[in-house]
Amino acid sequence: MATGYLYHELFGWHDTGTNAGLFPADHRMGIQPFQHFENAETKRRMHELVVVSGVIDRLTRLEPRKATDEEILAVHTPEHLARIQAGSDQPKGGDSGDGLSPFGPGGIEIGRLAAGGMIEATTAVVEGRVDNAYALIRPPGHHAEPDLGRGFCMFANLAIAAQAVRRTHGVERIAVLDWDVHHGNGTQKVFWNDPHTLTISLHQDRVFPPDSGLVDERGEGAGFGYALNVPLPPGTGRGGYLSAFDRVVAPAIERFRPDLILVASGFDANAADPLSRQGLTSSTYRDLTQRLLDLAATHCDGRLAMSHEGGYNPVYVPFCGLAVIEALAGVTEPLTDPYEPIFGGMAGLELQPHQTSVIDQVVPFLDDIH
Ligand SMILES: Cc1nn(C)c(C)c1/N=N/c1ccc(/C=C/C(=O)NO)cc1
Ligand SMILES: [Zn+2]
C-alpha cells in the first residue's frame, strides 16, 4: 500500500494574524490580541507527529507546486482571483472575501501552493504512483465559493484538484466526502449542477456557514440528487457518524460508482475542538477511513485522496490526523491515542434517536443517484 503524503513548511507561514480567534483585537470591545483560530500550530503539530511517530517512513513524500491561473479559474471567477492578487500585493496583505479570512503580503503564493498541493496529491493517485494520498495543506478550501473566499478559505483546493484531473486525465465520476464539522458549502456550490460530482457533507447542524447544509440542499438541474447533506445535531459522536456513513455515505458511493474518491478532511468534529460541539475521537476517524478504503477498493482501484481542512485543537487534532494517515498506509500497530479513553469515554456518544431522525430524512434521497 503506497500512501502519498504532502506537506510544506510554507503552509505554516500562511499568516492569519492576531485576529483573536475570529475578530481583530480591539481593546474597546475587550478583545485581546491572540492568534486566529486557523493558525499554523495545529497543522504543523500534526505533521510533526507524522514524523516523530515514524509513520513518515511508511509514506511516499509528494511535493506541492503552485496552481496556475488556468487551474484556479476552472473553479473561481477572474474577479475572485484578482481580489486575492490585489490583497496579496498590499503591504499588510488582505482578506479572501468575508473579512474572517485574512492573509499576509504575498499570501496568494501560499494559497496557490495549497491548491497545487492537492492537485499534485490527486494526480499522483490518478496516475497510480501511489494508491492513496493525504495533502496536509493550508489555507483550507472547502468554504471558498467561485466568487468569494469564506471561513478561512482562499481557494477551493479540493474542487480545483477535481477539475484539474478531469482535464488532464479524463476522470469522470468523482465522489467527494466532506467530514469537516462545518458544511462544505464551497465544494457543494462548485458542483451544484454537476451529476458527475457527488458531494456528501457530514457536518454539525448550522454551525458554519449559518443556515447552510440543510437536508433539502440537494443540487439543481442535472445535478439534482448529487448533493447530499447530513446536518448532525450538536453532541454527535461515534455512533451518529458511523450510522450516517453506513446508511448514507456508503450506499450513495456504491450507487454512484465513482472513478475517484476525494475527502475534505477536517478534524474539527473532534471532541475537544473550540469551533464545534461534536464528540469524535481518533478511533472514529480511523474507522471512517477504513470504510472509505474498502469502498475505494471495490469501486475505483483504491483511488482516494484527502485534502486537509479545519481542526483547531493543537493537542488532539494530531492524534486524529495520524489515525487517518495510519489507516491509509495500512499501519497494523497504530500509535495509542492517550486521549481516547477521556474524550471517547464521555456519555452520550453512542447513536441517539434525534440523530437517527436526521439520517432517516436523507436515506430516501439515495434513490435519486443513478
Ligand atoms: C465571526 C462570525 N460572525 N458570524 C455572524 C458568524 C456566523 C461567524 N462565524 N464565523 C466562523 C465560525 C467558524 C468557522 C470555521 C471554519 C472551519 O473550520 N471550516 O472548516 C469560520 C467562521
Ligand atoms: Zn471546519
Ligand 2 center from residue 239 Cα (angstroms): 20
Q: Give pLDDT, residue 20.
A: 84
Task: Write the residue with the smallest CA distance to atom 17 of ligand 1.
Answer: 310
Q: List phi, psi (to 5°) of 340.
A: -55, -45
Q: Which three-class secondary structure state does DSSP give residue 209?
A: coil
Mutate to test the pocket of ligand 1, among 43, 98, 100, 206 (most ligand atoms within 8 A of CB): 100
pLDDT of 144: 98
What does the pLDDT read at residue 321?
A: 99
Could you give the CA distance from residue 349 to residue 356 in angstroms, rounded to a whole number?
13
Cell of 240: 451518529
- Any ligand 1 atom below 6 A from CB of 178: no
Nearest CA to ligand 1 atom 4: 210
> Which amino acid residue places its CA nearest to atom 14 of ligand 1?
151
CB 155 within 8 A of CB 119: no
Q: Which ligand is nearest to the CA of 209?
A: 1
From 143, 183, 203, 299, active-site residue: 143
The pLDDT profile of the chain, 370 residues, written as one tens digit per residue, is 899 999 999 999 999 998 888 989 999 999 999 999 999 999 999 999 999 999 999 999 999 999 999 999 999 999 999 999 999 999 999 999 999 999 999 999 999 999 999 999 999 999 999 999 999 999 999 999 999 999 999 999 999 999 999 999 999 999 999 999 999 999 999 999 999 999 999 999 999 999 999 999 999 999 999 999 999 999 999 999 999 999 999 999 999 999 999 999 999 999 999 999 999 999 999 999 999 999 999 999 999 999 999 999 999 999 999 999 999 999 999 999 999 999 999 999 999 999 999 999 999 999 999 9
Closest approach atom of ligand 1 to CA 153:
19
| Backbone φ and ψ of 188, nearest 5° | -60, -40
Residue 21: per-residue pLDDT:
83
Residue for grid cell 434525534: 354
How confident is the model at residue 1, as a pLDDT? Answer: 83
CA distances from residue 31 to 26, 95, 101, 205, 208 in whole angstroms, order as listed: 5, 20, 18, 28, 22
Instruction: Report CA dihedral (225, 175, 318, 239) to the nearest 10 degrees.
Output: 50
Tell me, in angstroms, the distance from the centre of ligand 1 to residue 213's CA. Answer: 14
Full set of structural domains in the chain with CATH: 3-14+40-368 (3.40.800.20)
Q: Is the CB of 143 under 6 A from ligand 1?
A: yes
Q: Is residue 80 among the annotated active site residues?
A: no
253 touches 299 (CB < 8 A): yes
Q: Cβ(266) to ligand 1 under 6 A? A: yes
What's the confidence (pLDDT) of residue 19?
Answer: 87
Q: Is the peptide bond before 209 cis (omega within 30 degrees of 0)?
A: yes
